Chain A
């Protein structure tokens, strides 16, 4: 286990200990929910991880450099924002794909924009959850107040990058 994983376990067990103090039923319910969540996510993992691995075998090494590379600047950030916005699937799909794109030459600022857009626009989530649950007025209001965030995040990351050594393809 890596450092962050150990920290995560310590925090999780500490909060669970608080549950035990609150009462055994709560603590037991937390474990039951953990178990249920794990089995719900497991099928996703079993198809998403091979998918990302196959895709990273298929994508030629420098295909993303011209469109999404470090030198693609704001146009690359905008392309990445669009791509992130229509990318379907949960984090088990997106993060392996970001590694794949990075291996193919995509820049860090561009991948920041892509991840932000995937979170902010999330077309598939709007169609399956946000619109049915909260209505189109809410969707319109939320998009109107957040549509510029992916490009903004990409630009801030680009401005900060010279001060940090970050390599997404081999973390």
Chain B
């Protein structure tokens, strides 16, 4: 039940917002604006789909090639900045939504990655994930912005991971 809710909650919420916004557009801006918005959405859809399929293919192909176990051994508590850098790189290359990323966090934790590396991994995945960058950000907001923003935020997971190793909150990976 919780799982089904988790998987579909945002779909339902967005669907409801879409219906309300659509009715409001129809009411306040007229049928022409309503159709123009739908047409614009369709245009955007056709624009995103090719990169979406390519991004998904790249992601699943990478998954076949990389082994999380081998990578986690480079991310232990004694791995220093290098371990944080590897964690950031792996996070950036990790595809998919939270459904794919959080199970991977558990695998990495079980294979020896420490809390700093896991913090860096999660932030790199959510902040600089290549899939989001290539499928959404660059096509929708422009390549210039996407590259500049990524350049600014790329080192941030390492900073956070470095801090996380020094913050006195004890944490053990769930068994």
Main DSSP-derived SS at the A contact region? helix
> What number of A-B contacts does a CB cutoff of 8 Å give?
255
**A18 adjacent to B65 (CB under 8 Å):** yes
Cα–Cα, bound, A130→B48 (Å): 29
Chain A 7-25 against B: per-residue CB contact (8 Å), 1 yes, 0 no? 0110111011011001000
**B52 adjacent to A38 (CB under 8 Å):** yes
Cα–Cα, bound, A76→B126 (Å): 23
Q: Is B77's beta carbon under 8 Å from chain A?
A: no
Q: Which of A58, A142, A168 has the most CB of B within 10 A?
A: A142
Given A95-B136, A130-B102, A5:B14 Cβ within 8 A = no
Distance between B51 CB and nearest chain A CB, rounded to angstroms: 5
**A164 adjacent to B148 (CB under 8 Å):** yes
Cα–Cα, bound, A85→B86 (Å): 27
**B144 adjacent to A112 (CB under 8 Å):** no
Given A89-B14, A116-B153, A54:B25 Cβ within 8 A = yes
Residues of A close to B33: CB separation below 8 A: 57
**B10 adjacent to A145 (CB under 8 Å):** no
Give the residue of A57, A140, A160 whose beta carbon is less than 8 angstroms from that of B25.
A57
**A144 adjacent to B54 (CB under 8 Å):** no
Given A53-B38, A91-B135, A149-B160, A120:B52 Cβ within 8 A = no
Which A residues from 110 to 153 make CB contacts under 8 A with B?
112, 115-116, 119-120, 122, 124-125, 128-130, 133-135, 137-138, 140-142, 144-146, 149, 152-153
